[in-house]
């Protein structure tokens, strides 16, 4: 009986490893196919050529600190993935019984916005992981953060920090005050839910989380 159980467990483990290998192989193939259609350098050049693209040095520092603190506080310490945040997110979600925290890094979110739809499928996540590694191999953290804040959605039809700061506050991204900067930094997590035109009070509650993240 013990031999049968042992062999069964070995078979299950072997099948699991094989499935993981196949998923990774298919995901890598999908990632390469996307790069063949539109290379990363071309995607980046297209984004930087937009008239609303803003260099990092022209963006309010409080906003940059806040977006990192609330979206990916270890951004400058880890690589494309953050295993610590991923494990913490899994534990938090299991304890709450629902998805209340994500484990994606800023680089993963940039990869998703550049190449993938919003569908939360396993294969798409694997492709996204490979794309995040590719981005980190070709761009430094400051470049990645700059691309990210120029691409993310802030609600109310505003994409990128320039559209958001001008649309919400009639200010350039470098002229935001602390209150405006921390308010904007909380929006990308759920732009529709926190859109200032319709859910201002909820956005203010989110802002308190952002400020708390800055002090931790």
Beta-carbon contacts of 205 under 8 Å, excluding residues fewer than 6 positions away, are: none
CA–CA distance, 189 with 162 (Å, rounded to integer):
18
User: Cβ(123)–Cβ(27) under 8 Å?
Assistant: yes
**Which region holds residue 39: left if phi is over 0, alpha if psi is between -120 and 50, else beta?**
beta
Task: Kindly give the confidence (pLDDT) of every residue in the chain, 216 residues in length, as a single tens digit, with 9 standing for 90 and above.
Answer: 665 655 666 656 666 676 776 777 777 888 888 889 999 999 999 999 999 999 999 999 999 999 999 999 999 999 888 877 666 655 554 445 544 455 689 999 999 999 987 666 777 888 999 999 999 999 999 999 999 999 999 999 999 999 999 999 999 999 999 999 999 999 999 999 998 999 999 999 999 999 999 987
pTM for this predicted structure: 0.85
| Whether CATH 1.10.3810.10 fits 2-215 | yes
Could you tell me how many residues make up the chain?
216
Contacts of 121 (CB under 8 A, 6+ apart): none
């Amino acid at each position: 009986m013990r031999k049968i159980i042992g062999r069964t467990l070995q078979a299950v483990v072997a099948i699991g490893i094989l499935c993981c290998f196949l998923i990774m192989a298919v995901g890598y193939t999908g990632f390469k196919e996307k790069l063949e259609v539109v290379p990363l350098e071309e995607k980046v050049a297209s984004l930087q050529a937009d008239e609303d693209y803003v260099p990092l040095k022209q963006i309010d520092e409080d906003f940059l600190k806040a977006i990192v603190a609330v979206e990916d506080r270890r951004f400058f310490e880890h690589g494309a993935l953050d295993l610590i945040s991923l494990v913490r997110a899994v534990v938090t979600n299991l304890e709450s019984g629902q998805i209340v925290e994500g484990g994606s890094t800023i680089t993963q979110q940039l990869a998703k916005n550049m190449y993938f739809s919003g569908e939360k499928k396993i294969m798409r996540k694997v492709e996204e992981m490979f794309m995040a590694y590719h981005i980190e191999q070709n761009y430094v953290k400051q470049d990645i953060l700059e691309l990210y804040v120029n691409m993310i959605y802030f609600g109310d039809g505003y994409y990128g920090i320039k559209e958001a700061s001008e649309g919400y506050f009639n200010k350039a991204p470098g002229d935001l005050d602390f209150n405006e900067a921390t308010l904007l930094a909380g929006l990308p997590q759920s732009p529709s839910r926190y859109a200032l035109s319709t859910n201002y009070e909820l956005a203010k509650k989110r802002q308190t989380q952002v400020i708390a993240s800055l002090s931790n």
